[in-house]
């Protein structure tokens, strides 16, 4: 992982990507709901080589008090990367990038979470990236959504996230670290599958309008794959050994 | 009724049609969408989801078990296992002629005391107002506190109280269930107490399992013989 490789072939003549995937194939995804005893809700996701743990608390009292809102609850998200999550030690202090991702994930979750039911309270989401390999914000968002559901916080819909992008002039699903570094575009998408609404859309790179359209469609297709796994994770935890 | 039950997660469309959305469901166009993990139930004209997880949200007239956390000269504050603290005004205990300098609140209820209380008023703009001025309410002097998930309280009570009656009959214990998930068990015999506590914890763990009442009954009886 990391470092640019001059000989790296992003897409070979058979349409196989640098890690052996097809153009429209996501990485291996595993989601587990629960796992942390002290948090109100939690989830763990493995998204390719990404490993992310999410804990959710709340609704609970807001401290400091002045942050509370009498009309609605507030959502607070902290995205944090462990020092050992990347090849070279990362300073554990929040970086500019982590602050941005925290904000972006918070805003992607807000349309789904029904905070207005709990005025004067806060819901805290803590995201710890144990191992990063490109596309952590999408993986983190998907896991955060599972953890919120696990905590029993009312939600209009789950939020599933997946990235799409462009590498070697081809639209690809689920951009990995190499493709992100050497590719032409990266577009993370957060999507509410039942309501059919997009809650997160960023784009780093240049796309033509036609490519853009295809990229969004590809990304949403990826979100739907992630959604099925989120659903499975929650069903396994809550209805696993039960009969209908 | 039974065949209309379904396991749902947030975002699941339960059904479409002219139903009244109740607990934990929202209406989007003509789709009825669940907002919680739980079991959906369709009645003649309404739909609700019984949640399997989540914190306690106070409702007026709920019986709750609270723990005194502090008091001012005018009121007590209660931990009611929720995101809000319960507010118990001193008038409720001392009566109308309460005076802040003549009466000492700590003489009646101290920090750490458990009380059975009822939610008197709650509108989300203020902390829930609780009262202990009623029959069966007030300070709890003895018993064993068991904490379960608030979303599993309806399961512990069972259909028309069948589950709790089963446990009480088999163990001879007196059980007070707070809607906030705190349960006080008192029993004359230590064996009965242990058994009742075990049964309550079993309900908490296996809330989603069908025929749980029979399983609990079996557990209570088998233990009795050994």
Is residue A43 within 8 Å of residue A144, measured between CB atoms?
yes
At residue B206, the 3 state secondary structure works out as coil
Pair (B132, B160) in one structural domain: no
The nearest alpha carbon in chain A to B85 belongs to A61
Q: Cβ contacts (< 8 Å) between A241 and chain B: which residues? A: 209
Q: Cβ contacts (< 8 Å) between B35 and chain A: which residues? A: 114, 154-156
B33 touches chain A (CB under 8 A): yes
Q: Which of B69, B142, B139, B73 is nearest to B101 (CA)?
A: B73
| pLDDT tens per residue across span B203-214 | 888 877 778 888
Would you state the pLDDT for residue B92?
A: 87
Q: Cβ contacts (< 8 Å) between B36 and chain A: which residues? A: 149, 152, 154-155
Which residues touch B83 (CB under 8 Å, ≥6 apart)? A58, A59, A60, A61, A118, A121, B55, B57
Would you state the pLDDT for residue A241?
A: 58
Q: Cβ contacts (< 8 Å) between A238 and chain B: which residues? A: 7, 37, 52-53, 208
Q: Among B120, B140, B160, where does a domain finish? A: B140
Considering CB atoms only, which of B26, B54, B125 is closest to A152?
A: B54
CB A180: neighbour CB atoms within 10 A? 18
H or E element that contains A130:
strand A121-131
Q: Is residue B56 part of a domain?
A: no
Pair (B125, B197) in one structural domain: no
Whether the per-residue pLDDT at A132 is higher than 70: the answer is yes
Would you state the pLDDT for residue A231?
A: 94
Q: Cβ contacts (< 8 Å) between A236 and chain B: which residues? A: none
Whether the per-residue pLDDT at A243 is higher than 80: the answer is no
Please provide the distance, in angstroms rounded to a whole number, between the alpha carbons at the two ends of chain B.
Answer: 39
A70 touches chain B (CB under 8 A): yes
Is residue A23 within 8 Å of residue A171, measured between CB atoms?
yes
Which residues touch B66 (CB under 8 Å, ≥6 apart)? B78, B79, B80, B86, B88, B114, B115, B117, B130, B178, B180, B182
| pLDDT tens per residue across span B178-209 | 999 999 999 989 988 999 999 999 988 887 77
Cα–Cα distance measured from residue A71 to residue A117, given in angstroms and rounded to the nearest whole number:
9
Q: The tokens 């819901």 sit on which residue? A: A123
Looking at chain B, how many residues does it have?
Answer: 226
| pLDDT tens per residue across span A152-173 | 999 999 999 999 999 999 999 9
Would you state the pLDDT for residue B159?
A: 82
Whether the per-residue pLDDT at A3 is higher than 70: the answer is no
| Token reading at A27 | 């990485």
Considering CB atoms only, which of A121, A150, A192 is closest to B83?
A: A121
Considering CB atoms only, which of B9, B51, B83 is closest to A231?
A: B9
Give how many domains chain B has, as a whole number: 3
Cα–Cα distance measured from residue A106 to residue A74, given in angstroms and rounded to the nearest whole number:
10
Q: Is residue B58 part of a domain?
A: no
What residue ranges define each of the domains in chain A, with the CATH number in brackets?
Answer: 29-238 (3.30.230.70)
| Burial status of residue A107 (CB atoms within 10 A of its CB: 0-12, 13-18, 19 or more) | middle
Q: Is residue B171 part of a domain?
A: yes
Pair (B158, B219) in one structural domain: yes
Cβ contact, residue pair B9, A234, below 8 Å? yes
Is residue A136 within 8 Å of residue A52, measured between CB atoms?
yes
Average pLDDT over residues A54-80: 93
Average pLDDT over residues B56-70: 92
Cβ contact, residue pair B7, A154, below 8 Å? no
Whether the per-residue pLDDT at A9 is higher than 90: the answer is no
Whether the per-residue pLDDT at A195 is higher than 60: the answer is yes
The nearest alpha carbon in chain A to B210 belongs to A243
| Token reading at A39 | 């948090």
Cα–Cα distance measured from residue A140 to residue A79, given in angstroms and rounded to the nearest whole number:
8
Cα–Cα distance measured from residue A178 to residue A87, given in angstroms and rounded to the nearest whole number:
14
Q: Is residue B45 part of a domain?
A: yes
Give A238's strand partners: none
Pair (B119, B182) in one structural domain: no
Is residue A199 within 8 Å of residue B11, measured between CB atoms?
no
Average pLDDT over residues A24-49: 95
Would you state the pLDDT for residue A29?
A: 96
Q: Cβ contacts (< 8 Å) between A231 and chain B: which residues? A: 9
Instruction: Say what the alpha-carbon torsion angle B145, B146, B148, B154 is, to the nearest 10 degrees.
Output: -80
Pair (B98, B166) in one structural domain: no
A54 touches chain B (CB under 8 A): no
Q: Cβ contacts (< 8 Å) between B51 and chain A: which residues? A: 152
Q: Among B124, B140, B156, where does a domain finish? A: B140
Q: Is residue B81 part of a domain?
A: yes
Pair (B134, B158) in one structural domain: no
- Our measurement of the distance from residue B66's CA atom to the centroid of its chain's CA atoms, rounded to an integer in Å, reads 11
Pair (B90, B134) in one structural domain: yes
Pair (B189, B210) in one structural domain: yes
Q: Is residue B57 part of a domain?
A: no
Cβ contact, residue pair A151, B54, below 8 Å? yes
- Our measurement of the distance from residue B65's CA atom to the centroid of its chain's CA atoms, rounded to an integer in Å, reads 8
Pair (B127, B182) in one structural domain: no
Pair (B11, B45) in one structural domain: yes
Q: Among B99, B119, B140, where does a domain finish? A: B140
Pair (B46, B80) in one structural domain: no
CATH number at residue B115: 2.40.50.140
Q: E strands of chain B, at which residues?
A: 6-8, 13-16, 20-21, 25-28, 31-34, 38-42, 46-51, 63-71, 75-79, 85-89, 114-121, 129-131, 138-140, 144-147, 174-177, 182-186
Cβ contact, residue pair A195, B125, below 8 Å? no
pTM: 0.89
Q: What are phi and psi of A193, to 5 degrees?
A: -65, -35
Would you state the pLDDT for residue A4?
A: 53
Q: Place B30 in a pLDDT band, splitting at 50, 70 and 90.
A: confident
Pair (B136, B180) in one structural domain: no
Would you state the pLDDT for residue B129?
A: 94
Tell me the nearest-neighbour CA distance from B26 into chain A, angstroms: 8
> Percent of chain B scored above 90 by pLDDT?
37
Residues 106-145 (A) with a CB less than 8 A from some CB of B = 112, 114, 117-121
The whole-chain average pLDDT of chain A stands at 92
Alpha-carbon separation of residue B166 from B170, B181, B210 (angstroms) = 6, 19, 16
Please provide the distance, in angstroms rounded to a whole number, between the alpha carbons at the two ends of chain A.
Answer: 45
Domain hosting B210: range is 144-225
Cα–Cα distance measured from residue B164 to residue B156, given in angstroms and rounded to the nearest whole number:
6
| pLDDT tens per residue across span A172-190 | 999 999 999 999 999 999 9
The whole-chain average pLDDT of chain B stands at 88
Cβ contact, residue pair A154, B35, below 8 Å? yes
Q: Cβ contacts (< 8 Å) between A152 and chain B: which residues? A: 36-37, 51-55, 151
Looking at chain A, how many residues does it have?
Answer: 244
Give B55's strand partners: none
Whether the per-residue pLDDT at B63 is higher than 90: the answer is yes
Whether the per-residue pLDDT at A12 is higher than 50: the answer is yes
B1 touches chain A (CB under 8 A): no
Mutate to test the interface with B, among A41, A69, A157, A197 (most CBs of B within 10 A): A157
Cα–Cα distance measured from residue A127 to residue A78, given in angstroms and rounded to the nearest whole number:
6
Would you state the pLDDT for residue A6?
A: 60
Cβ contact, residue pair B33, A157, below 8 Å? yes
CATH number at residue B22: 2.40.50.100
Whether the per-residue pLDDT at A242 is higher than 60: the answer is no
| pLDDT tens per residue across span B117-144 | 999 999 878 889 999 988 889 999 999 9
Examine residue A56 and say whether the peptide bond preceding it is cis (omega within 30 degrees of 0): no
| pLDDT tens per residue across span B80-110 | 999 899 999 998 888 888 888 888 888 889 9
């Amino acid at each position: 992982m990391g470092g640019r490789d001059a000989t790296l072939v992003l897409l070979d003549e058979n349409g196989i990507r640098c890690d052996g995937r097809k153009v429209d194939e996501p990485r291996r995804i595993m989601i587990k709901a629960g796992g942390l005893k002290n948090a109100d809700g939690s989830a763990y996701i493995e998204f390719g080589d990404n490993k992310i743990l999410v804990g959710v608390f709340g609704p609970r009292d807001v401290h400091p008090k002045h942050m509370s809102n009498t009309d609605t609850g507030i959502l607070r998200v902290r995205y944090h990367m462990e020092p050992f999550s990347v090849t070279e030690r990362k300073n554990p202090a929040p970086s500019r990038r982590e602050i941005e991702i925290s904000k972006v994930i918070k805003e992607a979750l807000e349309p789904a979470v029904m905070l207005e039911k709990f005025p004067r309270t806060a819901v805290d989401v803590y995201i710890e990236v144990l191992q990063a390999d490109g596309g952590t914000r999408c993986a983190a968002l998907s896991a955060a959504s599972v953890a919120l559901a696990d905590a029993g916080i009312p939600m209009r819909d789950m939020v599933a996230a997946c990235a799409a992008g462009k590498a070697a002039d081809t639209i690809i699903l689920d951009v990995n670290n190499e493709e992100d570094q050497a590719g032409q575009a990266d577009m993370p998408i957060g999507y509410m599958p039942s309501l059919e609404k997009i809650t997160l859309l960023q784009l780093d790179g240049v796309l033509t309008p036609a490519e853009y359209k295809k990229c969004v469609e590809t990304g949403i297709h990826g979100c739907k794959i992630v959604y099925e796994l989120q659903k499975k994770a929650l069903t396994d935890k809550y209805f696993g050994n039960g009969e209908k | 009724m039974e065949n209309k039950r379904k396991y749902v997660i947030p975002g699941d469309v339960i059904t479409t049609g002219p139903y009244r959305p109740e607990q934990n469901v929202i209406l989007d166009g003509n789709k009825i969408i669940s907002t919680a993990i739980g079991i959906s139930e369709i009645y003649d004209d309404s739909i609700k989801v019984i949640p399997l997880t989540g914190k306690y949200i106070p409702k007026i007239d709920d019986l709750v078990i609270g723990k005194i956390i502090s008091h001012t000269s005018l009121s007590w504050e209660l931990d009611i296992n929720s995101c809000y603290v319960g507010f118990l005004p001193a008038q409720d205990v001392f009566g109308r002629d309460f005076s802040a300098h003549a009466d000492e609140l700590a003489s009646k209820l101290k920090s750490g005391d458990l009380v059975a209380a009822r939610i008197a008023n709650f509108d989300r703009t203020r902390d829930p107002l609780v009262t202990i001025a009623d029959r069966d309410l007030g300070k709890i002097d003895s018993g064993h506190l068991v904490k379960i998930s608030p979303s599993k309280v309806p399961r512990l009570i069972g259909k028309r109280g069948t589950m709790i009656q089963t446990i009480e009959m088999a163990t001879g214990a007196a059980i007070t269930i707070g809607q906030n998930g705190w349960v006080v068990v008192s029993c004359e015999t230590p064996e009965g107490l242990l058994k009742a506590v075990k049964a309550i914890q079993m309900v908490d763990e296996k809330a989603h399992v069908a025929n749980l009442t029979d399983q609990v009954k079996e557990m209570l009886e088998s233990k009795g013989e050994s």
